Structure 1
Amino acid sequence: MSLKHALLAMLDIDKGSGYDLIKRFDQSVAFFWPSSFQQVYKELTWLEDKGFILAEAVNQQGKPDKKIYQVTDSGGEELQRWLSLPAKEMKIKDTFLIKVFGGQRSTPEQLLEDLHRQQRQHKENLASYKTIAHNLKQLSPAKFKQYALPYQTLKLGIRFEETWLEWSEETELLLSRGDIG
Structure 2
Amino acid sequence: MSLRFAVLTLLDIEPGSGYDLKRRFERSVIHFWSASHQQMYRELHKLHGEGLLDCAEQPQEGRPDKKIYSLTDAGRDTLRTLATAPASTQKIRDPFLLQLFAGHHLPPAQLRAELERHLAEHRALLETYEAQNARFYKRPPEQRQRLWLAHQPLVLGIATEKTWINWAEQLLARLESEEAG
TM-score, with normalisation over the residues of structure 2? Answer: 0.96
Identity value in percent: 39
The number of equivalent residue pairs is 179
Report the equivalent of 1:135: 135
Report the equivalent of 2:76: 76
SS of the residue corresponding to residue 70 of structure 1 reads: strand
Once the two structures are superposed, the pairs formed by residues 1-181 of structure 1 within 5 Å of their partners are 1-178=1-178
Distance 1:62 1:150 in 2: 36
**Pairwise CA RMSD:** 1.1
Distance 1:6 1:68 in 2: 17
1:67 CA drift (Å): 0.6
1:146 CA drift (Å): 2.8
- Cα deviation per residue 1:140-180 (whole Å; 9 max; x = unaligned)? 1112223211211100000010000001011101211227x
Distance 2:175 2:128 in 1: 28
- Cα deviation per residue 1:72-117 (whole Å; 9 max; x = unaligned)? 1111111111111111011110000011111111122111111111
1:122 CA drift (Å): 0.6
TM-score, with normalisation over the residues of structure 1? Answer: 0.96
Distance 1:107 1:150 in 2: 43
SS of the residue corresponding to residue 68 of structure 1 reads: strand
- Cα deviation per residue 1:16-53 (whole Å; 9 max; x = unaligned)? 11111100000000011021111110000010011111
Q: For the Cα contact (< 8 Å) 1:13–1:146, is it kept in 2? A: no
Structure 1 unpaired stretches of 5+: none
Structure 1 runs (4+) deviating above 3 angstroms are none
Structure 2 unpaired stretches of 5+: none
Which moves more between the two structures, 145-154 or 163-172?
A: 145-154
SS of the residue corresponding to residue 54 of structure 2 reads: strand
Q: For the Cα contact (< 8 Å) 1:108–1:178, is it kept in 2? A: no
Distance 1:161 1:63 in 2: 41
